[in-house]
Amino acid sequence: MKHVAVIGAGTMGNGIAHTFAQNGFKVQLIDISETALKKGLETISKNLDRMVTKNTISEHTKSETLTNINTFTSIPEGVKNANLVVEAATENISLKLDIFKQLDKACDKDTILATNTSSISITQIAAATTRPDKVIGMHFMNPVPIMQLVEIIRGYNTSDAVTQAIMDVSITLGKTPVEVNDYPGFVANRILMPMINESIETLYNGVAGVKEIDTVMKLGMAHPMGPLQLADFIGLDVCLSILNVMYEGFKNPKYAPCPLLVNMVRAGKLGIKSGEGFYDYTANRKAENVSKQFSR
């Protein structure tokens, strides 16, 4: 498995492309937007520069990593010769199903199709193809080059051989793969998102402020980042999408998104990527901001 195609040049996609390329894989990075591809490559280069500065990698490794990445704006062209395709598009079921239909037609019959989805059913995605045995979840954590965990999610029809191949390639990347079954949210987000949602409810109900909630969780529970800051880092729209998938999948009110989260997403307060979420990032500061605007 030497040639890998990555669909999507955003935060997760460029991180996945970076990780494969740094470990000697030839990477075909695909996005419909030339601007997104350029931005993705710039991000990879900056992250590599940071690693060189910290003496984590050499200048030679940086150069080789960038050389290993080629960009494409067409799926059929971009997936040629790929042994593995990793989809890292927006967390939208209609979009993912459409992409996997295209991949099924464009890829060689032996190509493994993986999705980086953080909550959507692998079985449902696989059903959009004629190769459900070769469709699997490969859920990387952000930032991909640094975080060690990869959740490997088997769909209902995913074969043992494909599961083992993806476990092996994850280890080759220096990651620790953990196999889980196909239920909404898998393991990571089934546990994480209710905690984030309850933290937002705690703010919404006026129990404490943003900084206070995050401080309690950092100092009291030894979390490296508070749940509200983490939500900003993930993206509040992504958190909302995952909670909606889990709520629909389980029909359990404990997964229902907090109204404050819904209102913030409607207002475009998405966290770091929009410059403002539970904290204000517009002037490189972390100041409580939107909580008072959208609380009861």
**Known active-site residue 139:** yes
CA pair distance 101, 65, nearest whole angstrom: 30
Q: What pLDDT shows up at residue 197? A: 98
Residues of the chain with pLDDT under 50: 286-296
Q: What is the model's pLDDT at position 271?
A: 97
Cβ(65)–Cβ(21) below 8 Å: yes
pTM to 2 decimals? 0.89
Clarify whether 189 is annotated catalytic: yes
Question: For 288, phi and psi rounded to 5 degrees?
Answer: -60, 140
Helix (H, G, I), strand (E, B) or coil at 44: helix
CA distance 79 to 75: 6
Q: Cα(first)–Cα(last) distance of the chain, in Å?
A: 54
Q: pLDDT value at position 287?
A: 45
Catalytic entry in 47, 68, 118, 291: 118
pLDDT in tens, 167-207: 999 999 999 999 999 999 999 999 999 999 999 999 999 99
With 0-12 / 13-18 / 19 or more C-beta atoms within 10 angstroms meaning exposed / middle / buried, residue 283 is exposed
Is 70 annotated in the active site?
A: no
Active-site residue, from 14, 18, 151, 241: 151
- In angstroms and rounded to an integer, the radius of gyration of the C-alpha atoms of the chain is 19
pLDDT score for 284: 55
Residue numbering of the annotated binding site for NAD(+): 8-13, 31, 91, 96, 118, 142, 273
- Give φ, ψ of 173 to 5 degrees: -80, 0
Tell me, what's the pLDDT at 1? 85
Calpha distance 260→20 (Å, rounded): 38
Q: What tokens were used for 191? A: 């546990």
- The pLDDT assigned to 9 comes to 97
Per annotation, catalytic residue among 18, 47, 139, 241: 139
Instruction: Spot the catalytic one: 47, 121, 189, 197.
Output: 189
Q: How far apart are CA 70 and CA 108, in angstroms?
A: 19
94/100 Cα distance (integer angstroms): 10
